[in-house]
Structure formats: C-alpha cells, structure tokens
Amino acid sequence: MSNAYSIQVTSETFETDVLKKSQETPVLVDFYAEWCGPCKSLGPILERLADEYAGAFILAKVDSDAEQMLVAGMGVRSLPTVVLFKNGQPADHFMGALPEGEIRAMLDKHVERTEASPLERAAELVELGQYDEAIALYQLITADDPENYDVYLDMAQALLKKGDLESAEAIIERLPDAQKMDPRAKSILAGKAFQDLLAGAPDRATCESRVASNEKDSEARYFLAAHLMVSDDVEAAIDHLLTVVRTDRQYNEDAARLLLIQIFDRLGNEDPRARAGRKQLAALLMV
C-alpha cells in the first residue's frame, strides 16, 4: 500500500524513509502482520488519519513477517505496535488497536496540522467526487462573501461535474457580464449547446460501449465527445473528435472538424487545450 501519505517500508529503506524523513516530517511506523486480527482493524484507521492530516505526518507500514530482523532490532514484542518518529528518534508509541480518538490525541501532541481553508477543502472534495459536500461548502463561503464571484464559478463547475447543468447555468446567468467571459463560465454556457446536440442521441454509456467494441464507430465517438463536453471533460472530448477526423474525415459532412472548431472558439485562443487541439487538427488536415 503506497500513496502520497503512506508508504511500505523495508529494512533497506527504513533509514531513508523513516529516520531521515522524520527529520523533516513526523513518520508513524505501523508494525503489522497479515495474520494479526487487531492489525486489520487498526490499519484502515491509520490510513484514514494519514489522508485526513494530508501530509502532516507520513504513515510507514512494516510487514513484520517479511522484516523480522528490523522488527527484532526495534524491540517490537507484540502486534500491532505503532511508533512515531521525529527528528530521527522515537517520540511516542502504542501497542494494540487503540480507538481512533486516542490515536488522534497522540498525533496532535507531536504533529502540527495546517488547516486547509474552506475554499481549499471544497476543491479537495470536488477532486474526490464528493460534489454535494463541496457545493454545500461553496454555498457557505458565498453566504459570507456574496460578491466573491470566483467562488460562484467554482460552485457552478462542481454542479456541472455532478451532472446538474441546469443549476450550473443558473448561477452563471446571475453573474456580472465580466465574469461570464471567464473560461469556466464559457464552458458551462457551452454545455447547453452540447446538451441540445444530444437530443435523441444514444446515452453516454451506450456510446462508450459502442466505441469499446468498435473503435471505428464514428457516430458513437462523436456523440461521446458531446457527452464529455457536457461533463466538462474537454480534453477527452477533443481527443475523440480528432480521432474521428483522422479515421473518418467525411463522417456526417465533416461534423467532427466543425464541432472541434466550435470547441476551440468557445475555449478561446489563450486556452492551452485549444492551442494544442488546433495544432493537432492542422497536422491531420495536412496529411
């Protein structure tokens, strides 16, 4: 198990990943074994805390069966044993599967947490796909600061990703004209045009299934691109339309190229996705 805040550690990596790393950031070392029942209940708690603390400490997992010499050298007598290292030295420890509240209390004695701002937290929730929670947080922010139009744009984007295009459009329509020129606003307002294009078209799942079973199904790929635009997945939409131009230029009277031009125009010349897409399209048209 390894991610941004959690790593697997061996005898060979212990000095670098625990002792040296703990000079900069506290490292919580979890000595566990697959056969250990309490380890299985403790592990998910530690992983969840590592994610919650978002880098304020690193969780280092040690498989005690595979690393018996390291376990013996650390004086571990029972499992699970958890040791917190700071500045290259053990700073605290516990044995057994403690309740989450007690583990949190121990961590808070040694770990300095940097609290994310509400706006940062909302962005994190969007990344996690927790759109309702993010939207509720954006609503709280705008209630305190009703003229923070940038947050309204972020909220509209979250609504779009959730699939609620109508609510996203309603937010954009209430913004001052200057904010409607923002690329985020343009992409949402463009969503209505793509939604109209999809009237009577196959649904997204059907398009995806058809493309997966037949890469040359230009109609399915074309409508899948429109579905992706409605969901604001612009890069994937452009890729699919470029594929249609490359493999079936005459599909529906050059519909893929024409739709690409609409997308580029709506994104604007300064958008890197539009610039890259235009270059790729130009290269295809020269072949």
Last residue of a domain, one of 75, 110, 145: 110
Structural domain contains residue 189:
no
pTM of the full predicted structure? 0.47
Dist. CA 188–CA 276, nearest whole Å:
21
106 lies in the same domain as 132: no
149 lies in the same domain as 177: yes
106 lies in the same domain as 153: no
Structural domain contains residue 1:
no
222 lies in the same domain as 279: yes
Q: What is the pLDDT of residue 1?
A: 44
42 lies in the same domain as 133: no
Residue pair 54/5 in contact by the 8 Å Cβ criterion: yes
Last residue of a domain, one of 57, 80, 110: 110
253 lies in the same domain as 158: no
Q: What is the pLDDT of residue 2?
A: 44
Q: 231, 225, 236, 235: which is closest to 271 by C-alpha?
A: 235
Query: What CATH number should be reported for the domain holding residue 243?
Result: 1.25.40.10
Residue pair 188/160 in contact by the 8 Å Cβ criterion: yes
One-letter amino acid for residue 110 of the chain: H
* CA angle centred on 263, ends 279 and 244, rounded to 5°: 65
- Strands 58-63 and 6-8, bridge-based pairing: parallel
Structural domain contains residue 44:
yes
Structural domain contains residue 127:
yes
Query: Residue 98: which domain range?
Result: 6-110
Structural domain contains residue 254:
yes
Query: What CATH number should be reported for the domain holding residue 34?
Result: 3.40.30.10
18 lies in the same domain as 96: yes
Structural domain contains residue 259:
yes
Selecting among 9, 39, 76, 238, the annotated active-site residue is 39
106 lies in the same domain as 150: no
Structural domain contains residue 192:
no
Structural domain contains residue 22:
yes
Residue pair 214/206 in contact by the 8 Å Cβ criterion: no
Output the tens digit of pLDDT for each of the chain's 287 residues.
Answer: 445 689 999 999 999 999 999 999 999 999 999 999 999 999 999 998 888 788 899 999 999 999 999 999 999 999 999 999 999 999 999 999 998 889 999 999 999 876 667 888 888 788 878 899 999 999 999 999 999 999 999 999 899 888 788 899 899 999 999 888 887 787 777 777 787 888 889 999 999 999 999 999 999 999 999 999 887 788 999 999 999 999 999 999 999 999 999 888 777 777 888 999 999 999 999 87
The domain total for the chain is: 3
48 lies in the same domain as 100: yes
Last residue of a domain, one of 60, 79, 110: 110
78 lies in the same domain as 128: no
Dist. CA 134–CA 125, nearest whole Å:
5
* Residue 207 known to be catalytic: no
134 lies in the same domain as 93: no
Selecting among 36, 42, 97, 126, the annotated active-site residue is 36
* Residue 39 known to be catalytic: yes
166 lies in the same domain as 236: no
One-letter amino acid for residue 287 of the chain: V
Q: What is the pLDDT of residue 271?
A: 81
Q: What is the pLDDT of residue 114?
A: 67
